[in-house]
Amino acid sequence: MKRIISTPHQLLTSIKRGIWGWALSILVLSACSGPSVPKQFTENELRPHIYPDYADITIPVNIAPITFHIDDEAKDYVTRISVGDSEWTFGGDDVCPSERQWRDIKQKALAETEGKIDVEVFVNNDKGWQRMRPFAYTVVSDSIDPYISYRLISPSYITYEDLTLNQRCLETFDESLIYGNMINSDEENGQCLNCHHTQWYNPERLQFHVRHHLGGTIIAYDGDIRKVNLKTDSTLSAGVYPTWHPKQPWIVYSTNLTGQSFHTRDVEKIEVQDTKSNLIFYNLETNEVTPITNDSTNLDCFPFWSPDGKYIYYVSAHWERRDTVNLDFELIQHYKDVQYNLYRMAFDEKSMTFGPRQLVYDAVARNRSVTLPRISPDGRWLMFTEGQFGVFHIWHTDADLYLMDLTRIPFGDAPAPVAYKSKGAAGKSDIASAADNKHEKGADTPDAVTAATAQKKPDGITAASPRASGGKPTLKGPIVKAHEGTIRDSASIAEASKIPLPEYIRVISEINSPDVDSYHSWSSNGRWVIFSSRRVDGNFTRPFITYFRKDGTFTKPFELPQRNPQYHREFMRSFNIPEFMSGPVTVSPQEFARIIKDDASSVNLKIR
């Protein structure tokens, strides 16, 4: 898709970028073109050390040029990219095809070699010219959404100067600003911005928050831009983590009281915790906020609307104050005991009410904690991030991505630990039985009981109907208390850790890394996933893209290509919340800045 220039601002920005771009291109082209492959060389069985690691990756037909840097030390370098009989050669340790070359390469590959592009790196070192073990790219005809949006933020703790919300064309290297905080900040009045989100990939329907100075939620909806204050007397905070309804002008948010504290020794450095969190529903048309959940012992977070609009998926931890110290301090002391399960609530569009919550995945039973449920556009796959504790997994090195096949869950029959099976076992495993026993002994309503109740309510909406709740509509479902919020002894932790994953969930080992793998977003065609990972250096989050095969597996993820292949090594900010978009946001940062300078309009509170 061609980049659209629809405003004078974009035109000028393009010109500005163009000047630097041309200057750089001339330099790059002069550095990258013209060398010839050595006639004599020896074979080296080792793969070249290249950054980013693009060896044997699968890429979309419309992706920007794949550029890489050769880390192997040598006097000279030649790289040959070949498709069938055609070849392109590049000199130097930075291999950077031009956009035109890259287009030819991809087209030929799709036409002649079923997408296979061969890459050979020749290095001239003490042993003379050597050909390193070749690798390949595979181009597939499934395209990727042309744009992504993300927040660029230093992995800092409390400071947030130079915080920007950016968009990047994936077909080129063009990056532009959606909004940056410095346009409305000064020494005295700092401004944070976060949680951008579009409705169904539509850049015309975007929301994000600004905090502190001139704070409010900015919502752009088909040309109408408004700034609202979603905080009401009856809600914990303004809206935080958003999810748009796929079609209607409705947004569900979590409301959070969030704090952070710092590890004295651990490399994870920061622990971000909610002390309270609920869910609210915001209707843009009526400008009304309606609380959905409001239980102080449940920490509800990260809602996500299913593509059919019938369910809200979210995560929740159960935590009851145990001692007399303040809640913040207690949670800090027991931060490893706060674990989140995956739930959903049915949503009835007509009455705009939510059903009781249903447990979808009892991670706590496995001594694990779930966050960020995201469903593929076809509604079949749910990807989430799992770590051992907490909800802010970007700081948890054990965080990995998991995939749930929603078609394999008897939906409406909310799955519970009793239904878990260990591999090869037809009925309950011993561990699952042990978990059952534990429930039965507990004072709270165990999952098993709730799940049994839920089985009789296929869609969950009935519970929210006026009749079911004694003539008055309710938005609050029954509280499910399972293994959550329990300070466990080491024996029970060990036991819980042995409980296998349910059959319909798998850890996506083919894309996970030893470091953090967290925020993820599906492309609109469901064939690509972009996710945040700290695998490169453990500290700075970088976006990785992976292809989702039709058999439900993923290909090797590749780092977002940049014009300068070493860009991410030099860059001191993290890519936060990468999300696909069907095109660029056309509202200029200055226009957003003007809206943000205005006072936020209040919302009406609607209690059902």
- Contact residues toward another protein (CB under 8 A) are 8-9, 12-13, 16, 20, 24, 154-162, 164, 177, 180, 182-188, 261-267, 269, 271, 332, 335, 536-540, 564, 567, 569-572, 588-590
CB of 387 to another protein, least distance (A): 16
Q: Which is nearer to another protein, 8 or 424 (CB)?
A: 8
Contacts of 37 (CB under 8 A, 6+ apart): 78, 80, 89, 120, 122
CB atoms within 10 A of CB 409: 19
Q: In one letter, which amino acid is 532? A: S
Dist CA 245 CA 199 (whole Å): 7
In the numeric block, which tokens belong to residue 96? 């950077």
Is residue 337 a contact partner of residue 488, using CB atoms and an 8 Å limit? yes
Q: Which is nearer to another protein, 312 or 317 (CB)?
A: 317
DSSP 140-159: ES----SEEEEEEE-S-SS-
Q: Which is nearer to another protein, 265 or 467 (CB)?
A: 265
Residue 63: closest CA among 170, 168, 137: 170
CB of 14 to another protein, least distance (A): 11
Handedness of CA 371, 200, 173, 177 (dihedral sign): negative
Q: Which is nearer to another protein, 192 or 452 (CB)?
A: 192
CB of 365 to another protein, least distance (A): 26
Q: Which is nearer to another protein, 16 or 127 (CB)?
A: 16
Q: Which is nearer to another protein, 8 or 223 (CB)?
A: 8
In the numeric block, which tokens belong to residue 500? 């296998």
Mark out the alpha helices in 326-423 (DSSP H runs): 327-333
CB of 185 to another protein, least distance (A): 7
CB of 520 to another protein, least distance (A): 22
E-only strand ranges, 93-132: 94-95, 116-125, 128-131
Q: Which is nearer to another protein, 484 or 515 (CB)?
A: 515
CB of 591 to another protein, least distance (A): 10
Q: Which is nearer to another protein, 330 or 348 (CB)?
A: 330
CB of 189 to another protein, least distance (A): 9
CB of 239 to another protein, least distance (A): 25
Is residue 390 a contact partner of residue 271, using CB atoms and an 8 Å limit? yes
End-to-end CA distance of the chain: 45
Give the total residue count for the chain. Answer: 608
CB of 187 to another protein, least distance (A): 4
Distance of CA 332 to the CA centre of its chain: 25
- HSE, side-chain direction, 13 A CA sphere, residue 499: 27
CB of 355 to another protein, least distance (A): 37
Is residue 208 a contact partner of residue 162, using CB atoms and an 8 Å limit? no
Q: Which is nearer to another protein, 411 or 571 (CB)?
A: 571
DSSP 50-103: EES--TTEEEETTPPP--EEE-S--SEEEEEEEETTEEEEEESSEE---HHHHH
Dist CA 16 CA 608 (whole Å): 52
Tokens 């592009």 label which residue? 117
Q: Which is nearer to another protein, 6 or 159 (CB)?
A: 159
Q: Which is nearer to another protein, 9 or 549 (CB)?
A: 9
Is residue 150 a contact partner of residue 560, using CB atoms and an 8 Å limit? no
CB of 163 to another protein, least distance (A): 9
